[in-house]
A and B are shown apart, each in its own frame.
Chain A
């Protein structure tokens, strides 16, 4: 299991979702990915994307105006 990070700051939805999706494709099942965003829309969209594609949200937090979502890659 490896942990990866994705900078999706300044991107507006659905671009953070697209970047997350493209990054996840390169990862292995069980890997963790932290996505850092500034568009609050990601708090809704990335979890929805994870639910339909079988990935797990480990946390979704707001830290000083940024939104940090950590997910675990499911089987693809």
Chain B
């Protein structure tokens, strides 16, 4: 009896990896999915935090894709290992803090490790030559294959015909003729293939798969590194960058102000580890203070928080500040006027 050939597929939750996996399943290969959680993934968190997203389905797209394809999915926590990828990317960053090429190399290398540990034969990705300016170019395809160590066990079914033959094709596990020759930024071939496979519902593939491609998120991360004087982070740091308004009046501190109830509830969870404040005389949001503020800074923070509460038009409002040592300060402050707040405070 012939050995069942097995492939592991990098599932992002988008259409391309879904199609690439489907193309290989169609050739009788046993496929299981793998998804890496870096801490920056757009999945999950933000849906859970932001109430304004509550009318959208809260599904996890990778799990959903795996279910549609009828394959198993392994979600791997790579938060710690990913730090080195983001902090020291050998190939640099994209338009924002996205180290896409290093990220791809890292993920394929991890998938290769998983493949070997689990007795699988090759790796699938949904990459398409020319689809993304940084990581999906003709020149980067061999770099990812070589630097990840996956070499010719890495198959990109959607553009395989434009690339050198891989081991699964040479061995006859995969019929090259039934793979594809997509290239460039157009999404039309993917749409047509989705139709052919009768896939009607899929997550919109536009943009990146993570927050690091987001300009405003990247600015907040740069600010965090600059004010701390070194490039490092913990999971809580990068989670908090996804939430609230971040205002930095000076290098000593920044204020994180909830924009709506969902964010307020999320920030509640950090009350024990941050100095926090809110307006007591009027309805208003919860805010956290990150850094080492002076008394004057606390006063300023109180005026900022007052600006975003219902007392914004009042002459003075009362704000309660709970310090990290448990001490509680109450102060009467005049809410900031919009015109008084320098634009460069907004990170």
B153 contacts the other chain (CB 8 A): no
Q: Give 17 A-B contacts (CB < 8 Å), ordered by A residue.
A: A12-B44, A12-B48, A13-B47, A13-B48, A14-B62, A15-B77, A17-B60, A17-B63, A18-B76, A39-B48, A41-B44, A41-B60, A45-B44, A49-B75, A52-B67, A52-B71, A53-B72
A13 to B37 Cα, complex, angstroms: 10
Secondary structure type dominating chain B contacts: mixed
The listed residue with most B CB atoms (<10 A of its CB), out of A15, A17, A18, A52, is A52
Q: Specify which chain B residues have a CB less than 8 angstroms from the CB of A45 in the assembled complex.
A: 44, 59-60, 63
Q: Mark A40-76, 1 if CB is under 8 A from B, else 0.
A: 1100110011011100000000000000000000000
Who on chain B is nearest to A21 by CB? B75
Q: Does A23 contact B (CB under 8 A)?
A: no
Q: How far is the CB of A55 from chain B (nearest CB, A)?
A: 11
Cβ of A10 under 8 Å from chain B: yes
Q: Is the CB of B76 within 8 A of A48?
A: no
Q: Is B137 an interface residue (CB 8 A)?
A: no
| CA–CA, A52 and B76, complex, Å | 16
B75 in contact with A17 (CB, 8 Å): yes
Report B41-99 residues with CB < 8 Å from chain A CB: 41, 43-45, 47-49, 58-60, 62-64, 66-67, 70-77
Q: A-contacting residues of B (Cβ < 8 Å)? A: 35, 37, 41, 43-45, 47-49, 58-60, 62-64, 66-67, 70-77, 239, 269
Question: Please, which residues of chain B bring their CB within 8 A of the CB of A14?
Answer: 35, 37, 41, 43-44, 60, 62-63, 75
Interface residues of A (CB under 8 A from B): 10, 12-15, 17-18, 21, 39-41, 44-45, 48-49, 51-53
Q: Are B58 and A41 in contact (CB under 8 A)?
A: yes
Cβ-defined partner of A18 (8 Å) among B48, B64, B77, B269: B77
A57 to chain B, nearest CB (A): 14
CB of B48 within 8 A of CB of A40, answer yes
Contacts beyond the supplied A13-B45, A14-B75, A40-B48: 5 A-B pairs with Cβ under 8 Å: A12-B239, A14-B41, A40-B58, A51-B67, A52-B67
